[in-house]
């Protein structure tokens, strides 16, 4: 039932977001001030409505159902899948922010 590899799904989502950002950014970034704000809100609202109407892809207003979240890099234990990578990332960011170079 579709692609189930998490890395392929993340790469496809990143590619789709980049393409959408490049297309909308080419239009939005040519404006300034209030026009920039209003155009950003308008395009965001249009994309939201398109996502709500595409029930075959996004599940519409109800969202995705029946999605099974599988572990990506570690066993399903909470320490390995969430706690340890989060604590390592926090330690790296906090030490970089307090260094003389940062």
Spell out the domain ranges in the chain.
1-70, 72-102
What are the DSSP calls for 24-71, one per residue?
A: HHHHHTT--HHHHHHHHHHHHHHHHHHHHH-HHHH-GGG---S-----
Which candidate, 13, 11, 32, 31, places its Cα nearest to that of 21? Answer: 13
* pTM for the model: 0.53
Q: Are 6 and 70 in contact (CB under 8 A)?
A: yes
First-to-final CA distance of the chain: 47
What tens-digit pLDDT sequence spans the chain (102 residues)? 577 777 888 888 899 999 999 998 888 888 888 888 899 899 989 988 988 888 887 778 777 777 666 666 655 555 455 566 677 777 777 766 665 665
């Amino acid at each position: 039932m579709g692609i189930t590899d998490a890395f392929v799904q993340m790469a496809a989502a990143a590619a789709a977001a980049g393409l959408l950002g490049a297309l909308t950014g080419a239009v939005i970034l040519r404006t300034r001030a209030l026009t920039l704000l209003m155009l950003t809100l308008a395009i965001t609202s249009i994309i939201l409505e398109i996502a709500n109407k595409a029930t075959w892809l996004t599940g519409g207003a109800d969202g995705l159902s029946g999605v099974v979240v599988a572990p990506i890099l570690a066993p399903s234990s909470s320490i390995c899948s969430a706690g340890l990578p989060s604590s390592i990332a926090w330690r790296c960011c906090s030490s970089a922010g307090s260094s003389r170079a940062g």
